Structure 1
Amino acid sequence: MLSWLVSIADTILAAVFTFIGFFVLLWTFTMAGILQDENGKVLHCETSNTGVESCYMKEFGIVD
């Protein structure tokens, strides 16, 4: 009886995590498409000490 309940709980948890993971994956690809243009540059924003935010296109690099 107990293994049957554990099996059902495991199936439910797997379904929930798969559902959440799908939306995280979709959000990631959507944000990557919005922030990156066709030349491999990404939108990079910095806030100065005065609170002014400046944004510019920057080459994408893994080591930034």
Structure 2
Amino acid sequence: MEVVRKHLKSSEMTYQALGEKMGYPPESARQSVAQFLRGGDPRVGTIRRFAKAFGVPISKLFR
């Protein structure tokens, strides 16, 4: 998801910080974000977590 990558870059958050903000445990936060960015078909719940962590509506992640 290129839009998520752009939000991540502009936020200057690390994968670790973003993952923790999304509610993943510290032990798996970085890996969870990296796995999502490598994957091609994310679950709606995961997209909701990204939107909440970035403080944007879900619709912003699809533009």
TM-score by length of 2: 0.25
TM-score by length of 1: 0.25
Higher relative contact order (CA 8 A, sep 6+): 2
Q: Whose Rg is larger?
A: 1
Q: More strand by proportion, 1 or 2?
A: 1
